[in-house]
A = this chain, B = another copy of it.
């Protein structure tokens, strides 16, 4: 009666095979190309058996999200444990986070939904209509730089943009966080960066 266990092991195996197949497809063709039938093809079954293992497509995505968060947690803890100084711990952790986002890009996209259609916008939009063109002027002036396309201006612009876009992302998703706190973070961050421009 050990066959029962062997079969259970096999079932557990196809459970992870499904996840792996999904991950592979996404790595090759992107999230949009992921379909139940493609997963089935990859694990050499037909589509309906997937529903024996996962309730639906969303459940698969959720499982992958979970896996992604666990992986990220590992990397961050690993990085933290390499240092004793608190400041160094923080820097190492955030660097690990950063690296995870690019090394496991597919996971990060799933976890935080980074797709964006703003890539080609620069060419399509009328000149002066994208946020950069509008903000770069004042930033350059404050820095005492004449050319708004100077790298130092770009850097500062992206610093602004990052924190604001990041905050917005959190807020659109995690509606829990109090609006008052966020406005405070935003104002602090903006004035902080703005102050740093004059140095």
The dominant DSSP class at the A interface is helix
Interface size class of A (residues with CB under 8 A): 35 or more
List 19 other contacts, CB 8 Å, given A90-B142, A114-B168. Answer: A69-B121, A80-B138, A86-B141, A89-B138, A90-B135, A91-B194, A94-B164, A98-B186, A102-B172, A108-B172, A112-B169, A114-B172, A155-B181, A158-B177, A159-B188, A162-B165, A165-B166, A165-B169, A166-B166
Task: Report B-chain residues with C-beta under 8 Å of the C-beta of A187.
Answer: 91
Query: Is A1 interfacial (CB-CB < 8 Å)?
Result: no
Q: In the assembled complex, how far is the CB of residue A182 from the closest CB belonging to chain B, in whole angstroms?
A: 8
Residue ranges of A at the interface with B (Cβ–Cβ < 8 Å) = 61-62, 65-66, 69-70, 72-73, 76-77, 80, 86-87, 89-91, 93-95, 97-98, 101-102, 105, 108-119, 121, 124-126, 128-131, 134-135, 138-139, 141-142, 151, 154-155, 158-174, 177, 181-182, 184-192, 194, 196
Name the contact of A172 in the complex, choosing from B86, B105, B129 (C-beta under 8 A): B105
Number of copies: 2
User: A155 near B184 (CB under 8 angstroms)?
Assistant: yes
